[in-house]
Structure 1
Amino acid sequence: MSSVIPVPVDTVPASSPSRADVVKAYVALTKPRIIELLLVTTVPAMMLAARGIPSPWLVLTTLLGGTMAAGSANALNCVVDADIDAVMKRTSNRPLARHVVPTRNALVFGVVLGVLSFAWLWTTTNFLAAAMAVGAILFYVLVYTMILKRRTSQNIVWGGAAGCMPVVIGWSAVTGDVTWPALVMFGVIFFWTPPHFWALAMKFRDDYAAAGVPMLPVVATPQHVAKQIVVYSWVMVAWTLLLVPATGWVYAGFALLAGAWFLVFAHRLYRAVRRGNPGNPMTLFHLSNSYLTLVFVALAVDSALSLPVTGWPF
């Protein structure tokens, strides 16, 4: 792997950015598209935990706290990864790579968001939800970003656990504890993460190699990567069915149909790679977003149809 070329992250740009550009840059530090997907999984988890429709106020406060926590983790990730973001074409437009935001400001911004998320969740939900949000931030930044990402091809497997926390936080915000359905939902996202990110890394293998990040597609053959995607996809689909005892026929039906849909494309990529073709990993990557959304929306619909309304009014 090639070494990462140090980049002076605090270099002043040739022309000062406008105030609107600065605001956009701080928003970009939080990686809103990633946060959107995390929040899609939180609401269904809360509905299942409530055995009905939870208080709208509780949902809003949990989503706001979760947004701040995820934004904190992502902003701090940008600080640590500023050097490799500048090397990779896919991430070279991020604020620190373009020197729109000084490193110190981004660091303070990320820490403040994390503190606010803890205080907000503790005040509006409970201490367990707030503590797990902070734990997710620390795990993502210290364990994944600073240790695993640059040292092992299994980085996204274990590091992806941080992205599984929103469902557990949502569950605990409603119940004050963590029981088996929350852990099953955690597992669904845990096993979803490798196929999702490895498909992306197959497309941008050269980017990761140039940055010295040992993503699996950088250190393994395409055939091995595609096979691992198939293995994790099967485990993921099987894992979704563990929620059936806590749900109903709507969720069960959609979990099976969506799972079969995903497996068809995972195997299609594997067959193409085995024949020596690059296949189209980005198709699977985009499909993975749709798949996760569909499974959790089905969970929400199932909860709304099968369970009584609780927690109203605010």
Structure 2
Amino acid sequence: MLLRFQAVRPSVIEADSICLRCLLRMTKKSVPRRQFSASRPCNEALASKPKLGKLWRREYFSANGSLGLSKAQWETYGFAYETSVPRDVAVSNNATTVTTPAPPLIPQRQPLPAVPNDASEPPHRRRKRLKAEANGEAPLPLDASSRLSTLSSTMPAASVRRLLTTCLSLSKPRLSFLIVLTTATAYSLYPVPALLLPTTTASPSLSALTLVFLTSGTALCCASANALNMLLEPKYDAQMSRTRNRPLVRGLIGKKGAMIFASVAGVLGVGSLYFGVNPTVAFLGGLNIALYAGLYTPMKRISVLNTWVGALVGGIPPLMGWAAAAGQSATGSGEWRELLFSEGSIGGWLLAGLLFAWQFPHFNSLSWPIREEYKNAGYRMLVWTNGRMNGRVAFRYAILCFPICAGLWWYQITDQGFLVTSSVINAWMVREAWRFWRNEGNKGSARGLFWASVWHLPVVMVLAMLHKKGLWEGIWKRVNGESEEEMWVEEEVMQVPKAKGHPLHVVKALTSVGP
């Protein structure tokens, strides 16, 4: 579309008063044959007709606005100004010629400077060279709390989304997810007795509702403990690259708000475990909050034994899951001695031992790239007080994962397949721990062990659930059409030894179902 107005003889034509199409017509080398219609400046014409001006701006983008950019603004977008001598343009109108100076310097596209790159070096060799130059100390990726804090800072200050994102950052969601995963794994691995077959009792053997209360309560307890941990040390978190982006350090939430969140999450978490699971699990959840915030956090500035205390805290959640499942099949009063120290509680302690051992390869490799920051902040960590022992401890506890996984098979928690598959993932972590110890964290060994430990825990937990004792046998028998009652009776008979006074037919009679 082209706007035309009654032609007059303007004495001076200013660049900011004409549209871009007219300006480009004026900049041609030859004198334009068509007369330039400018009864009045285009800005005034558009101002007199608001609707037409609005349509003009929408169709022609912003014709005059681009002319008002400064040289620095054009250079920001990758343009450069012409430096040639301006040309005079003659405009003829009714036999009168008006000579006007050329419009201001017109921006021309200039390619952005190319990034220097050696074409003779292949990309994979370049990556290998940069990795070697970094000596394996490349910074690890930011954790979920740091990323959520950055996201929260971009939201409006008084919005609900910012508050929820900040609270989620306080809870350390990635760490909380791993803890909830170990709790749910222990709950699912508990061997269900045949006497709790759904056809013989009013409630299912392992309640899905109990699992919901268990996982949600555990997650809330983790959120409370992590928020209290951040609340007690923002001064020291600000001195470390790994923690300086936390919400309390950045001022996204005050200490009072963090305390309210930690208190509410703790009360709701322990309450969910008490009323939805059993008092023993609720006690373990509250104990974990007290140990993590009250003992582990201040101990980090006192002794290197804080790592062992933190590992103990990480080993409690599997016990919570095991005790939650054991409470549904308890034959006695269901008190804590029966749930935690009976003959059938060995599976929960093995899973707790696996979590205890796993944390040393994970944390010792995680802390190695920032060992100087720990030292400057006053944290007593083994990584800088005794670097050689730091690698040896990681290697020692990585080896311990082998007998623990074998114990799960020995005590009939998992089948023989788990003994094979878990050995593969354990061997990977042991290999990386050996490199970490021998190289003292150099040559990328710390990063290799860190990622091996990150994948080790969820993979082993999933493998344990896939290799639960009797899972695939039950699926095979269902495919072949065997009834559920026969499967449970056969499994119970195989588990009960043939002792004197307990012949096989008596055991079958005791475990049979029906009136």
* Matched-pair contact (CA < 8 Å) for 1:71–1:113: yes
AA of the residue aligned to 1:190? F
1:63 paired with 2:215, answer yes
Aligned residue pairs, count: 293
> Any idea what the Cα deviations from partners look like across 1:49-104, whole Å, max 9, x if unmatched?
14398332222221101100111111111101211111111111101011111101
* Residues 1:47 and 2:188 are matched in the alignment: yes
2:213 partner amino acid: T
CA shift, 1:156, in A, is 1.1
Distance in 1, Cα, partners of 2:349 & 2:368: 29
Displacement of 1:18 in angstroms is 4.5
Aligned-partner Cα distance in 1 for 2:444–2:452: 14
Q: In the TM superposition, what are the counterparts of 1:212-223 in structure 2 within 5 Å? A: 212-221=378-387, 223=388
- Tell whether the 8 Å contact from 2:156 to 2:162 is kept in structure 1 after alignment: no
Q: Could you list the per-position Cα deviations for residues 16-62 of structure 1 after superposition, in whole angstroms to 9, with x for gaps in the alignment?
A: 73423232111100000101111221222111114398332222221
- Partner amino acid, structure 2, of 1:251: F
Residue identity in the other structure for 1:214: R
CA–CA distance in structure 2, aligned partners of residues 292 and 81 of structure 1: 28
Q: Work out the CA distance in 1 between the residues paired with 2:449 and 2:235.
A: 28
Q: What does 1:282-293 correspond to in 2, within 5 Å? A: 282-293=447-458
| Structure 1 stretches lacking a partner, 5+ long | 1-12
1:248 aligns with 2:427: no
SS in 2 for 1:213: coil
The counterpart of 1:100, out of the listed 252, 259, 263, is 252
CA distance in 2, matches of 1:217, 1:169: 31
Given the alignment of the two structures, is residue 167 of structure 1 paired with residue 318 of structure 2, yes or no? yes
8 Å Cα contact 1:31-1:74 kept in structure 2: yes
Select which of 24, 36, 55 maps to 2:177: 36
Match of 1:264 among 423, 427, 431: 431
* Bigger relative contact order, structure 1 or 2 (CA pairs below 8 A, ≥6 apart): 1
Unmatched 5+ stretches in structure 2: 1-152, 194-204, 328-338, 476-483, 485-515
Candidates 298, 305, 314, aligned match of 1:154: 305
Superposed displacement of residue 126, structure 1: 0.8
Describe the shift of the 1:207–1:17 C-alpha distance in structure 2 as closer, same or farther (beyond 3 A): farther
Are the equivalent residues in 2 in contact too, given 1:248–1:306 (CA < 8 A)?
Answer: no
CA distance in 2, matches of 1:27, 1:215: 27
Q: 1:307 to 1:268 in 2, by over 3 A?
A: same
Task: Give the corresponding residue for 2:157.
Answer: 17
- SS at 1:54 equivalent: coil
Note if contact 1:250-1:298 (Cα within 8 Å) is conserved in structure 2. Answer: no
- Decide which moves more: 237-246 or 84-93: 237-246
CA distance in 1, matches of 2:472, 2:320: 23
Larger Rg: 2
In 2, the alpha carbon distance for the partners of 1:135 and 1:96 equals 25
CA-to-aligned-CA distance 1:90-146 (integer Å, 9 cap, x gap): 111101011111101111211111111111111111111111100111111111112
Deviation at 1:264, TM superposition (A): 1.1
Q: Tell me the TM-score normalised to structure 2 length.
A: 0.54
Residue 195 (str. 1) matches residue 361 (str. 2):
yes
- Match of 2:256, SS? helix
Name 1:112's counterpart in structure 2: 264
Say if 2:229 is the partner of 1:77.
yes
Partner of 2:38: none
TM-superposed CA distance for 1:228, in Å, is 1.9
Amino acid of the structure 2 residue aligned with 1:28: S
Given that 2:435 and 2:445 are in contact with CA atoms closer than 8 Å, whether structure 1 keeps it comes out as no
Query: Corresponding residue for 2:446?
Result: 281
Give the aligned partner of residue 4 of structure 1: none
CA distance in 2, matches of 1:76, 1:159: 15
CA distance, structure 1, for counterparts of residue 179 and residue 474 of structure 2: 25
Please give the per-residue CA displacement for 1:252-272, whole angstroms capped at 9, x wherever unaligned: 122211111111111122232
* TM-score using structure 1 length: 0.87
Is this contact kept in 1: 2:428–2:452, CA < 8 A? no
Query: Could you list the per-position Cα deviations for residues 237-294 of structure 1 after superposition, in whole angstroms to 9, with x for gaps in the alignment?
Result: 32222211222112212221111111111112223239xx453312211211211111
Matched to 1:57, the amino acid is: L
Change (3 A) 1:152 1:144: same
Q: Distance in 2 between matches of 1:107 and 1:307?
A: 50
Counterpart of 1:237 in structure 2 is: 402
Identity of aligned residues (%): 27
Q: Which amino acid aligns with 1:161?
A: L
